[in-house]
Structure 1
Amino acid sequence: MKYNNILNISMQQIQIFLKCFQYRNYSRVAEEYNFTPSMISKTIRTMEEMLGLQLFIRAYHNLTPTPAARELAEGWKGVCDIVLESISKACDVQEKLSSKIRIGLLETTKFCADYVMIKLEEQAEKSLLEDIQWERRDMHSLPAALDEDIFDMVITWSGEKPYFRNKDTRWKTIFRSPDAVFIARGHPLFGKEIHSFADFRPYPFITLSPTAYPHYYEFLQKICMEHGFSPILSSICGSTESARYNLNLGKGAYVASSLICCDWENEDVRKIELEGEGNSDLLVVWKSQHLTPRMRETIDIITH
């Protein structure tokens, strides 16, 4: 007899065969699976056809395994043990991974990462710190990553709020910050006293792409219009890292959060804080349906 379709054998069929081998009776097996004896009989007959083997010699209320069945029983019991063990290990892996807190962090600045980590290291238990997985990304990719459940929570600039479209999204402020203008050495105002944002009227600005970051472009326009002018644009950038690069090259002024981007300031880049201007806070954002006790503990620590 030739075997065929052996890859179509299911784990349930194997388990039913092993029970028949153990009990030597269709009715006993049917009771255990809450099936009828005819269903068990049909399962064994189907397996025999698939394998091209006779598995049992039938007699009234009795099954006698054939030598082929004995060989299969010995091998398949080991297969079932391996499958059960692998499933158990997979469950353990998933449980460990599900206990992790995946946090996406804007890569615009090292200061934010340091600020959050210092708070956690000072107040969180070691087990909580070990459960946190960090990933730094461009801030504008964070809302979509949260929506797609790539992260459990994200830490980003408050200007990203319009991009969190999930109605289940919640956020809390980590710290508040005014806006600031950053200019590189060589800018006409670099060494001068600045009295008002209006002093930047004649000079170009760097902006994020109105297509990719419409809210940032509106934010820049709003600040400029409030001071009586429309911004001259020198560079339109596809990411905050590109904007910073153009800033360092002296391509123009860049408006950003004073605290979030405070580590941009150095001997070649000047920061002019705009008193009373803007609302460029650092936020932690999550989905309320996904909030766990460990996430709540993390949020409480970094927002107090």
Structure 2
Amino acid sequence: MDLQRIKYFLALSEQLHYWKTAEKVNITQSALSRQIQSLENELGLQLFERNKRNVKLTPAGKFLKAKWEVELNELEYIHQFAKQLHLGERGAITIAHPDSISASIMPDLLAKITQAFPQLQIKLVQVLYEDQPEFLRNYKIDLAITRDVNNQQGIKSRKLYSDNLALVVPLEHAFQGIADLSTASLTEQKFILPTKDEGSSYSEIIQAFFDSYDFSPDVFLYSEFGSTIIALVRKGLGIAVLPDSYLHHQSPGLRFISLPFKTDLYINWRTDDHNPVLANILDLIFKDEDPDPKVKPAK
């Protein structure tokens, strides 16, 4: 059954006047009459009672008007929903990110995304370093924000942001600033560090800090979770080297001493992913830079 005929029927059932209805739906009166007659023939019933003065709905016409109005509204919603999916304005996306940016970059990034695409469903997860490529390739996550350079086939990366490493110490600690750091003073400390992952460029940056003072740290504990490290430093169990973005976690009782070592953040996605939601988010994130962020991987 032609949806357009049903729309003509509903318009006439409201106006109950052929000339006014024809003008409203932008067709001729004779064309409207043919469409209604064709619909009645297809259904095998009369929808309107007509005479020279009046047009009114038959009982069958009244029944179909009530039903078709509901059905047509639902169909319009379905079509609009499908269109939003096609345009990437609606749907779902899973983003993995490090704990360090939970209170710095992520709130601003999510506000930007939800303002542009309020119908999107976003799931945030944290994934171990060694699992990130597999999770991306297997569609368990759609975007991964990492501190490591990606060299995996089938995954593209682009630099998102940079911050500095910081030495994190309790407020009462003797270290007040970078001038207090020396090989001797650092050697005396117990360290609580992020888990050292083989092949991780982020781990290499932390090691570069230790190498610059020519010492090997006495590591008390390794943890995947920066928030846990922060809590242990506050407890006085050691000092830590973390990204200075943890400053945004509002951690009282701690001092962050900025170090001259940059740690970059990269956003990673599947090379062959044609999900319009993903394309929209990448375009939104990088809209002030290269107009096609999907072309160039990070080097």
| TM-score, L = length of structure 1 | 0.55
Match of 1:112 in 2: 105
Match of 1:273 in 2: 258
Deviations 1:181-222 (A, max 9, x none): 111234332xx2432653534322112334689665544332
Change in Cα spacing, 1:188 to 1:139, as seen in structure 2 (3 Å) is: farther
**Displacement, 1:165?**
5.9
- SS for the counterpart of 1:100 is strand
* Unaligned 5+ runs, structure 1: 1-91
CA distance in 2: counterparts of 1:265 and 1:240, whole angstroms = 13
Alignment pair present for 1:195 and 2:179: yes
User: Partner letter of residue 154 of structure 1?
Assistant: A
**Displacement, 1:114?**
0.8
Query: Residue 146 of structure 1 contacts residue 154 of structure 1 at CA under 8 Å; is this kept in 2?
Result: yes
CA distance in 1: counterparts of 2:276 and 2:97, whole angstroms = 20
**Displacement, 1:117?**
1.7
CA distance in 1: counterparts of 2:265 and 2:186, whole angstroms = 26
Alignment pair present for 1:282 and 2:272: no
Deviations 1:128-150 (A, max 9, x none): 34224222325535444223211
CA distance in 2: counterparts of 1:264 and 1:213, whole angstroms = 28
CA distance in 1: counterparts of 2:204 and 2:111, whole angstroms = 34
CA distance in 2: counterparts of 1:289 and 1:214, whole angstroms = 25
Change in Cα spacing, 1:212 to 1:265, as seen in structure 2 (3 Å) is: farther
CA distance in 2: counterparts of 1:213 and 1:238, whole angstroms = 16
% identical equivalent positions? 16
CA distance in 2: counterparts of 1:281 and 1:219, whole angstroms = 10
* Unaligned 5+ runs, structure 2: 1-81, 289-299
Change in Cα spacing, 1:134 to 1:197, as seen in structure 2 (3 Å) is: farther
Change in Cα spacing, 1:217 to 1:249, as seen in structure 2 (3 Å) is: farther
- SS for the counterpart of 1:175 is strand
**Displacement, 1:287?**
0.9
RMSD: 3.1
**Displacement, 1:226?**
1.7
CA distance in 2: counterparts of 1:143 and 1:250, whole angstroms = 36
Alignment pair present for 1:180 and 2:166: yes
